[in-house]
Amino acid sequence: MSDTPRQRIFSGVQPTGNIHLGNYLGAFRNWVKLQDSFDTIYCIVDLHAMTADYVPSELESARIETAKVLLALGVDPSCSLLYTQSQVMDHAELAWILGTMTPMGVLNRMTQFKDKTGAGITANLGLYAYPVLMAADILLYRANLVPVGEDQRQHIEMTRDLAERFNNRFGETFPVPEGYIPETSARVMSLTDPTSKMSKSDPNVKSRILMLDDPDVIRKRIRSAVTDSDPEVRHDVEEKPGISNLLEIMSACTGRSVDDLVEEHADGGYGAFKDAVADAVVEELAPIKPRYQAISNGDVRAILREGGERARELVAPYTREVKKAVGLKGY
């Protein structure tokens, strides 16, 4: 048996409820898949959630709900570490240290920040520094791989730069992590506006499919998905963003290639194609709801409590080492 330690995976999700098909196909399905062969750590990032408007009394229910959905999707606490960020304040401590090494020019280029402020969200320092906290999450655990959707690619790039910058200045400390982004469905698009991504915060509930939606709701959402007036089923993101999105969703749910699906459905009409997409999504999500219903809130709290304790123990020596390297008291 090899005694090479397993590569470490870290990823996070904001506790905002409304976990949708995009989160699942872009990231969480990989979270579950990777837990057999990697040392996996998954975090509900409530410190990040504070950068947007939020109601304090709702944060706990959002944490529990998010964890419960993750468990129902197959995140297994007997092999993955599952916890909430605010249980381990080392995240914030490392974010401060990394923040002192992050040029403002780099943060000014972050497209998620620009998108949010462009949409009229009032920026606070936390939102501006969001990618630094995210880098701290990943580097705190010395993760090698980060399973995320396409929208996080730029943040991962920044994390890699910060790891290199830190290592050059203070000595080899952090592995330079890599994103683990799926080939299809890395950016699942809205069902009502297929030129923007499916999002938890879209006020239009018809824009997304949630993990616990009933089959008839899923079918309705897909049947009413915005497409175009040319009846040919083909993959062309520019000309046919709605159909391309449905093809990618179906490909991700069935494991069949987009080309194969196009060949089968090219001339069959949109109605029949949408029904086939709906069948594939319904089948993929079918096991989730019964598993969700079998988990109690008490079980979830116990899992998170224990996860937080294990996470604190795991990072304590890492934090000491980092503080010592940068000239802070590490004892």
Among 132, 139, 148, 247, binds ligand TYM (CB under 6 A): 148
Whether 116 is catalytic is yes
Q: Which of 33, 114, 200, 289 is catalytic?
A: 200
Tokens of 264: 């089968």
- Buried/exposed code over 156-175 (b: 16+ C-beta within 10 A; e: otherwise): bebbbbbbeebeeebeebbb
Q: For residues 44-73, which are near ligand TYM according to CB under 6 A?
A: 45, 48
Among 9, 134, 222, 225, binds ligand TYM (CB under 6 A): 134
How remote is the C-alpha of 8 from its chain's centroid?
A: 17
Rule CB under 6 A: is residue 146 a binding residue for ligand TYM?
yes
- Buried/exposed code over 21-56 (b: 16+ C-beta within 10 A; e: otherwise): bbbbbbbbbbbbebbeebbbbbbbbbbbbbbbeeee
* Span of 19-27, 230-238, 246-254, 260-268 interacting with ligand TYM by CB under 6 A: 19-27
* Span of 18-26, 93-101, 118-126, 258-266 interacting with ligand TYM by CB under 6 A: 18-26
Q: Which is nearer to ligand TYM, 68 or 187 (CB)?
A: 187
Three-state SS at 92: helix
Whether 197 is catalytic is yes
In degrees to the nearest 10, what's the CA dihedral of 27, 111, 258, 283?
Answer: 40
Rule CB under 6 A: is residue 163 a binding residue for ligand TYM?
no
Q: Where are the beta strands (DSSP E) in 141-251?
A: 145-147, 178-180
User: Look-up: residue for tokens 């950068």?
Assistant: 51
Phi, psi of 179 (to 5 degrees): -75, 150
Q: Which is nearer to ligand TYM, 73 or 138 (CB)?
A: 138
Rule CB under 6 A: is residue 14 a binding residue for ligand TYM?
yes
* Span of 102-110, 182-190, 236-244, 278-286 interacting with ligand TYM by CB under 6 A: 182-190
Rule CB under 6 A: is residue 221 a binding residue for ligand TYM?
no
The residues annotated with a catalytic role in the active site are 116, 197, 200
